Amino acid sequence: MQIYQRLTPIHAPQGSAVALGYFDGVHCGHRAVLGAAVECARAGGLTAAAFTFELPASSTLKGGRILSLPQKHARVASLGIEEYQEAPFDEFRALTPEDFVQKVLVDCFNAKQLFCGDNFTFGARAAGNVERLRELCAPLGIGVHIVPMAQYGGQTVSSTRIRAALEEGRLDDANAMLGTPYAIDWPVVHGKGIGSGKLGTPTLNQNYPAAALQPCAGVYLTRIYLDGQWRPAATGIGKRPTVDSSENAAVTCETFVPDFSGNVYGQQPVLEFHKYFCPVRKFNSMDELAALIHHAADESKAYFAALNGAK
């Protein structure tokens, strides 16, 4: 997938089928929109493209990011999108709906077919909606396709609902709406050395950047991609009350990978979250904390053994 970080003409000699939106999480609704653009492009000899944008790290416009950019890109690319435009929001935020259609969709995309959900808005102050998009595109011969809104639990799937589910510890709901497990790939950083020391359970620390959405504190059954294979693991997200009782203790994200030893500092392994296991607690001793970590790791091994056995 070719990624453009500025508003640039893409490679679309026969024109393009373009999916439109922010796509944080690349959830099942987004997949339907992106997938429809890919299908249309393949059937009609067009280039499969997506128009999205990047917000400054400090922006609260859309809430904390569900996925890192590499994770977002990997998921969009896996759906078959060939050309991906991810301009800074400021490059087009002031365009009128008319200018957005001309300068972005016509000049940059050579768009022939557009795909979005019925809540898509565009142009300065989100002045354009899907009816306006249709009005502006009809005289240009550009087709506008509104993809039916994906539902979960009787309500429309949205990035906002997924953020709430992750923050409330409802990982099953978040994963069902995402259509694939929630995952992170933050760089592995050094911890305090307690894990490999007193605790006897070395942990791999992948702490969240400020702009990212942080799921609910807790212990999770996870799997991590290391040295070319998926390995069952157990992850704790929280303030580590057993080892740090200070009020403003940092929240860390630490993963114990049983039967693995290796130096992965600086790498960005993908860590998938499969089950919420239990809350983080203050234990009376390091032995009790170590027992919980081993127990969670055993549960994770059993969970993935059962999952792989069922395939």
Ligand X SMILES: Cc1cc2nc3c(=O)[nH]c(=O)nc-3n(C[C@H](O)[C@H](O)[C@H](O)COP(=O)(O)O)c2cc1C
Question: In terms of DSSP H, where are the helices of 79-189?
Answer: 97-99, 130-137, 159-167, 171-178
Q: What DSSP letter does each residue of 267-300 carry, written as one string?
A: ----EEEEEEEE-----SSHHHHHHHHHHHHHHH
Tokens standing for 92?
């087009």
Cα 289 to Cα 161: distance, rounded to the nearest angstrom: 33
Q: Does 33 bind ligand ATP (CB under 6 A)?
A: yes
Type of residue found at 304: F
Q: Does 59 bind ligand ATP (CB under 6 A)?
A: no
Query: Which option in ligand X, ligand ATP, none does residue 15 bind, with CB closer than 5 to 8 A by kind?
Result: none
Q: Does 290 bind ligand X (CB under 6 A)?
A: no
Contact between 122 and 98 under an 8 Å Cβ cutoff? The reply is: no
Query: Which option in ligand X, ligand ATP, none does residue 144 bind, with CB closer than 5 to 8 A by kind?
Result: none
Q: Does residue 86 sit in helix, strand or coil?
A: strand
Of 156 and 267, nearer to ligand ATP (C-beta) is 156
Coarse DSSP helix, strand, coil percentages of the chain, rounded to the nearest 5 percent? 30, 25, 45
Of 21 and 236, nearer to ligand ATP (C-beta) is 21
Of 65 and 301, nearer to ligand ATP (C-beta) is 65
Which region among 42-50, 146-154, 213-221, 292-300 touches ligand ATP (by CB under 6 A)? 146-154
Task: Provide, rounded to whole angstroms, the least separation between the CB of residue 90 and ligand ATP.
Answer: 17
Q: Does 164 bind ligand ATP (CB under 6 A)?
A: no
Residue nearest to ligand X according to CB distances in the complex: 191
Binding-site member from 16, 17, 30, 237 for ligand ATP (CB under 6 A):
30
Nearest to 37 by CA among 25, 51, 24: 51
Contact between 195 and 254 under an 8 Å Cβ cutoff? The reply is: yes
Binding residues for ligand ATP (CB under 6 A): 20-24, 29-30, 32-33, 62, 116-117, 119-120, 147, 149-150, 156-160
Binding residues for ligand X (CB under 6 A): 191-195, 199, 203, 205, 219, 234-236, 240-243, 254-256, 280-281, 289, 292-293, 296
